[in-house]
Structure 1
Amino acid sequence: MIAASQKLSAWVRQMRFDDLPDDVVTATMLRVIDVVGLSIAGSQRPFGMSVRSATAGLHPGTEARIWGGAARSSVSGAAFANGALSQALEYDDTHNESIVHMSSPAVAAALALGDRLRCGGRDAILAIAIGNEISCRVGSLAPGQFHKRGFHPSGLFAPFGVSWLAGKMLALEEDAMIRAAGITGSFAAGLIQCWVDGTQSKFLHPGWAAQSGIAAATLAEAGVTGPAEVLEGRFGLYASHLQDEAVTPDWRRLTDALGEEWESRNASFKPFPAAHVIHPYVSALLRLRERHGLSAERIRAIRCDVAPYIVGIVCEPQGEKLHPLTDSHGRVSLQYTLAEALVRGRLGKDAYQPEYLRDEAILSLARRVEYRVDGSLPGPEQFKGVISVELTDGTVLEEIEEHNRGSSENPMTTDEIVAKFNENVAGTLTAAQARRLVDAALALDRCEDVSRFTELTVTDHE
């Protein structure tokens, strides 16, 4: 039997930019501008300032840029910092079925390597598209099984995508790519115990994934070996992490129709900085708010029908969800998030501020958000929200979001993604700088030197 890593490596080796479908190229350029904007926004948060400070000590160097300032670092350091910063607001895109944030580590890794290699934009786009596709596929073999065991898909699956991304950019031979994937298995990680107390370690996972994939490819290039059956082997990723004979990964999802069916097309941009499974409920509630002029005082209860798999992610334990301790706590709470969205009328870059987390009007409404499990709702392949609002006069208003905003079935427009970027970089980049960066990202396929693109992220602020 041919190992999965061998099949994936053979595909990566033969892929060329001209093999990418036009829509995948366009989506990848939009993902670049989205991730860069998120990283710049994250750099202004206390978490981001801590990451930048730590990176300066851990990764001295000048090969690559940390976006949103004048700082530089080693390739590994820039990939780590930019990847971690882009998750700070829980605002980065998600592959629906696997719930892996694939673009944050892929874009961070590709642009850091691009800074050093001075490669063209087409090379970076191809590498990101490859990395995203593999991250999504690796995560789709047993959807939902890792979250409920306390693992963050981005920490487990994205390192593999970045490993092949880096292998492509470094022009590794097939055998070296296989070794790199095997090494990556020892780096893949991602516990989400931080959801219990609202701490920040989950935000580091895209950064670790970006750094790990680059490290694995570099080690393999130098001759370090790793197991060929790192995914499907006796002690491979799935056997070691699932440890449940009742769960059988669908191995066909990993390599069938590679280059013909693009799993990354099933990834969603985020219009809200919250756990992605909450998004359809936020959209539905905000439509009801606008349509009926709703205020918290008029609401007796907000009731959400939810799919079973999201209960342990955003609904329970209720004590944590009803009174989140930190912004990261709040971003994974269905109850709190809906309450803040309704009270404030929006959920953007400035959401989950400390004063909002203590606002009794929001907390009181959060206590009136109820959920009930509906086994007929789809699994993670489709984020669907069913919501009803009972008013104090007994009126019941109902709304359904069939597909989350930002998905392929309900896409965000280019203008909406650019508007999100502009909001995220406001206060760090000038309006003129933001326009130049957007224009350059949307023309990245014509860029001759990726470092010229990352130069546009430089400001005088530190």
Structure 2
Amino acid sequence: MTFADVPEDVVASTRFRVLDVIGLSIAGSRTPFGASVSEAATLYPGDEAAVWGTARRASAIGAAFINGALSQALEYDDTHNESIVHMSSPAVAAALALGERTGASGRDVLTAVAIGNEISARVGSVTPQQFHKRGFHPSGLFAPFGVCWLAASLLRLAPAQMVAAAGITGSFAAGLIQCWVDGTQSKFLHPGWAAQSGITAAVLGQSGVTGPGEVFEGRFGLFASHLQAAEPAPAFGRLTDNLGSVWDSRNASFKPFPVAHVIHPYIDAALRLRVRERLTPERIARVICPVAAYIVGIVCEPLAEKRRPLTDSHGRVSLQYTLAEAFVLGRISKDAYAPASLRDPTILALADRVEFVVDPTMPGSERFKGVVIVETADGQRFEEIEEHNRGSAANPMSRGEIEGKFRENVTNVLDMRQADAVIDAVARLETLENVSALTGLMAPAHA
């Protein structure tokens, strides 16, 4: 596959995904999690690639890990709806780091990111909705394969080397989400591990290391080992049917809110109700949210954890707490889930009044729909529906909204001139002879 094979609309959306991930990583670098991860740069000495939002450089594999991890620090990165894979954060981090190492052009990097996103989405769609319930984060399992293929593209691997690399990638498949129990941060590392693992597997395959040819469908392959006797059986046709002509990655959503993606339509519905009906916390007796069964174990239960999140990362995967903060503060912004908010008695009391009910008519993960019903203390009942999450193909964010999100995320790190320069460089990425012309713009002005 070459740049000419990628449809124009996929090229355009991929540019926006590159911009989005850069902004998210820079914002993540200024969080406590980001500060801790950035210290890991000392484990990856070298000068091959930039650590975005800092003056640091590292080896390509180190920069890919750090930038990939930082991109999910705010739970703000895009998602392929059906598979619930955060596909772009590891792909962009890996492609730009490896692109710096190899002197790749912007056109090659765009092509590689498009390939990586497509593979991640397809691998994750073989058995959608089956991994979260077993304690696995789809991005940790599937995105390494997307990165492997994008790295194979940039490194110009021969077919046999690519087959070996894919087999090797299966040995990196991980992504435990036990951190959701206590609000710790290890899930945020998964895009970084995916970026690092995919590059490593590609280089090993290029060097002659072998890997199993049936890494997906084999007796001890990815799906048999992780799902055991799952029903329905894996649909392996999702991997290759119409590959290169039908682009699953078109069905991926940008995030307007820094929170688990399945909560997004509920937030928009709640915020509209709040304004339209002039709802204050004391007026709200009860909030009822019909939900699809597959999201219950992700954002609705256990109730005690979801109503009393211990940390910001805990809150970002709670439907109850998130809607309470949205109703009380009137927003869910980059600064949501602050320590003061997590202890706010008004927010917590309202979280106790947010309920969910499983509704079999709600769609699966191919479409994130939200319904919010509010019953008031004086007996009134209001309902608002968001049919398609904002940021999806059916309800897209505008160019201005995506660029505005980027500017917000780089505030206090890049000045306005630098932010404009990055936006301009990404907008014409396919014209850059060397991708370092973009990555060289990301160090803070005061560094």
- Whether 1:40 and 2:26 are equivalent positions in the alignment is yes
- SS of match in other structure, 1:27: helix
- SS of match in other structure, 1:387: strand
Q: 2:403 aligns with which of 395, 418, 421?
A: 418
2:93 corresponds to which letter in structure 1? A
Paired with 1:440 and 1:377, the residues of 2 have a C-alpha distance of: 41
TM-score for the superposition, normalised by structure 1: 0.96
Paired with 1:433 and 1:368, the residues of 2 have a C-alpha distance of: 45
Counterpart of 2:215 in structure 1 is 230
- SS of match in other structure, 2:115: helix
Counterpart of 2:387 in structure 1 is 402
- SS of match in other structure, 1:390: strand
Task: Indicate conservation of the 8 Å contact 1:93/1:102, yes or no.
Answer: yes
More divergent stretch after superposition (294-303 vs 272-281): 294-303
- Whether 1:152 and 2:137 are equivalent positions in the alignment is yes
Compared CA separation, residues 22 and 186, structure 1 to 2 (3 A): same
Paired with 1:210 and 1:360, the residues of 2 have a C-alpha distance of: 40
Percent of residue pairs identical? 67
- SS of match in other structure, 1:381: coil
Counterpart of 1:257 in structure 2 is 242
Kindly state the Cα deviation for residue 57 of structure 1 after the two structures are TM-superposed.
Answer: 2.3
2:185 corresponds to which letter in structure 1? Q
Task: Indicate conservation of the 8 Å contact 1:69/1:460, yes or no.
Answer: no
Q: 2:76 aligns with which of 91, 103, 107?
A: 91
Task: Indicate conservation of the 8 Å contact 1:70/1:461, yes or no.
Answer: no
Compared CA separation, residues 365 and 461, structure 1 to 2 (3 A): farther
Deviations 1:430-462 (A, max 9, x none): 111111111111111111110010011111556
Q: 1:382 aligns with which of 364, 367, 377?
A: 367
Paired with 2:381 and 2:240, the residues of 1 have a C-alpha distance of: 48
Mapping for residues 86-235 of structure 1, pairs under 5 Å: 86-235=71-220
Counterpart of 1:335 in structure 2 is 320
Paired with 1:44 and 1:314, the residues of 2 have a C-alpha distance of: 26
Paired with 2:230 and 2:244, the residues of 1 have a C-alpha distance of: 31
Counterpart of 1:30 in structure 2 is 16
Task: Indicate conservation of the 8 Å contact 1:69/1:461, yes or no.
Answer: no
Paired with 1:95 and 1:351, the residues of 2 have a C-alpha distance of: 23
Paired with 2:193 and 2:322, the residues of 1 have a C-alpha distance of: 27
Kindly state the Cα deviation for residue 50 of structure 1 after the two structures are TM-superposed.
Answer: 0.3
- SS of match in other structure, 1:397: strand
1:282 corresponds to which letter in structure 2? I
- SS of match in other structure, 1:456: coil
More divergent stretch after superposition (79-88 vs 390-399): 390-399
Q: 2:275 aligns with which of 267, 273, 290?
A: 290
Deviations 1:113-162 (A, max 9, x none): 11111211110000000000000000001000011000000000000000
- SS of match in other structure, 2:331: coil
Paired with 2:428 and 2:333, the residues of 1 have a C-alpha distance of: 27
Counterpart of 1:363 in structure 2 is 348
Task: Indicate conservation of the 8 Å contact 1:313/1:332, yes or no.
Answer: yes
Paired with 1:172 and 1:109, the residues of 2 have a C-alpha distance of: 16
Which 4+ residue blocks in structure 1 deviate beyond 6 angstroms?
none
Counterpart of 1:6 in structure 2 is none
2:426 corresponds to which letter in structure 1? A
Task: Indicate conservation of the 8 Å contact 1:133/1:161, yes or no.
Answer: yes
Counterpart of 1:8 in structure 2 is none
Counterpart of 1:81 in structure 2 is 66
1:187 corresponds to which letter in structure 2? F
Task: Indicate conservation of the 8 Å contact 2:415/2:445, yes or no.
Answer: no
- SS of match in other structure, 2:355: strand
Counterpart of 1:9 in structure 2 is none
Counterpart of 2:288 in structure 1 is 303
Structure 2, unmatched stretches of 5+, are none
Paired with 2:166 and 2:95, the residues of 1 have a C-alpha distance of: 17
Paired with 1:442 and 1:343, the residues of 2 have a C-alpha distance of: 38
Q: 2:36 aligns with which of 50, 59, 71?
A: 50
- SS of match in other structure, 1:258: coil
Counterpart of 2:435 in structure 1 is 450
Paired with 1:110 and 1:86, the residues of 2 have a C-alpha distance of: 14
Task: Indicate conservation of the 8 Å contact 1:306/1:372, yes or no.
Answer: yes
2:140 corresponds to which letter in structure 1? G
Kindly state the Cα deviation for residue 246 of structure 1 after the two structures are TM-superposed.
Answer: 3.0
Paired with 1:447 and 1:291, the residues of 2 have a C-alpha distance of: 47
1:326 corresponds to which letter in structure 2? T
Paired with 1:285 and 1:279, the residues of 2 have a C-alpha distance of: 10
2:43 corresponds to which letter in structure 1? L
2:407 corresponds to which letter in structure 1? N
Paired with 2:398 and 2:347, the residues of 1 have a C-alpha distance of: 31
2:246 corresponds to which letter in structure 1? E
**RMSD of the alignment, in Å?**
0.8
1:67 corresponds to which letter in structure 2? W
Task: Indicate conservation of the 8 Å contact 2:316/2:337, yes or no.
Answer: yes
Counterpart of 1:436 in structure 2 is 421
Kindly state the Cα deviation for residue 47 of structure 1 after the two structures are TM-superposed.
Answer: 0.3
- SS of match in other structure, 1:389: strand
Q: 1:59 aligns with which of 39, 44, 69?
A: 44
Paired with 1:16 and 1:279, the residues of 2 have a C-alpha distance of: 35
TM-score for the superposition, normalised by structure 2: 0.99
Counterpart of 2:357 in structure 1 is 372
- SS of match in other structure, 1:109: helix
Paired with 2:425 and 2:301, the residues of 1 have a C-alpha distance of: 43
Paired with 1:316 and 1:347, the residues of 2 have a C-alpha distance of: 21
Paired with 1:440 and 1:246, the residues of 2 have a C-alpha distance of: 46
Kindly state the Cα deviation for residue 201 of structure 1 after the two structures are TM-superposed.
Answer: 0.2
